[in-house]
Amino acid sequence: MMECTDRHFRYLLRLISRRTLLYTEMVTTGALLNGGHHRFLQYHPMEHPIAIQFGGSNPVELAQSAKIAADYGYDEINLNVGCPSGKVQKGRIGACLMAEPGRVAECIAAVRSAVSVPVSVKTRIGIDEYDSYEFLICFIKEVASAGCEKFVIHARKAVLSGLSPKANRSVPPLRYDTVFRVKRDCPDLDIILNGGVDSLDRVAEFLDRVDGVMLGREAYRNPYLFSAVDRLFYGDTRREPSRLEVLREFLPYLQEQLDRGTHLTSISRHLVGLFHARPRSKEWRRMLSELTQRKPGEAYAAIQALATSDYV
Catalytic residue among 83, 96, 107, 148: 83
The DSSP code sequence of the chain is -TTTSSHHHHHHHHHH-SSSPEEEEEEEHHHHHHH-HHHHH---GGG-SEEEEEE---HHHHHHHHHHHHHHT-SEEEEEE----HHHHHTT-GGGGGG-HHHHHHHHHHHHHH-SS-EEEEEES-BTTB-SHHHHHHHHHHHHTTT--EEEEESS-B--SSS-TTGGGTSSPP-HHHHHHHHHH-TTSEEEEESS---HHHHHHHTTTSSEEE--HHHHH-GGGGGGHHHHHH---SPPPPHHHHHHHHHHHHHHHHHTT--HHHHHGGGGGGGTTSTTHHHHHHHHHHHTTS-HHHHHHHHHHHHTTT--
**96 assigned to active site:** no
| Nearest Cα to Cα of residue 76 among 36, 40, 122, 34 | 122
Distance between CA 115 and CA 77 in Å, rounded? 9
Show which residues are catalytic: 83
